[in-house]
Amino acid sequence: MSFASEFREFALKGNVVDLAVGVIIGGAFGRIVDSLVKDIIMPVIGRIFGGLDFSNYFIVLKDPPAGYTGPYTYEALTKAGVPLFAYGNFITVVLNFLILALVIFWMIKRVNRLRAALDKPAAAPVTPEDVLLLREIRDELKAR
């Protein structure tokens, strides 16, 4: 078997394709959760705690270069090459993870509940009374 045909057989197996689809959807889902945290949840939390923006919580570990006149924000200082202890970003990433884990837990719980409902054996259909009566008559005639 040639390398190309062996690779094609490997790549087209159901598990590999399913994994690839899962990775792609997971990446998109991660961006959705990131936006949910960054654009919806963090502003609300910041508003509750007095208009705080967690992304700008940092400690400057080294002074900016001489002549630096830019703003003292995380983005600007990072672009200027200033080392920062950015604990605000860490808080945001941890919240991202917790929300993502909660959503995945909720989704898996729903899927498991749906699977359990689908895996239940179907109840035997109720036999109509006329069929039961005909069976009794048949059995009675056989017994004679």
Output 49 or 111, whichever has higher pLDDT. Answer: 111
For residues 96-126, one letter each, b for 16 or more C-beta atoms within 10 angstroms of the residue's C-beta and e for the rest, the string is beeebeeeeeeeeeeeeeeeeeeeeeeeeee
Is 135 found in the same domain as 66? yes
Is 61 found in the same domain as 22? no
For residues 44-70, one letter each, b for 16 or more C-beta atoms within 10 angstroms of the residue's C-beta and e for the rest, the string is eeeeeeeeeebbebbeeeeeeeeeeee
Average pLDDT, the chain: 83
Is 58 found in the same domain as 35? no
Total domain count for the chain? 2
All residues at 6 or more sequence positions from 54 whose CB lies less than 8 Å from its CB, including other chains? 42, 45, 46, 88, 89, 91, 92
Is 119 found in the same domain as 75? yes
Is 61 found in the same domain as 2? no
**Domain with 139 in it:** 53-144
Is 85 found in the same domain as 24? no
pLDDT in tens, 58-92: 899 998 888 888 898 888 898 999 999 989 888 87
pLDDT in tens, 97-106: 887 788 778 8
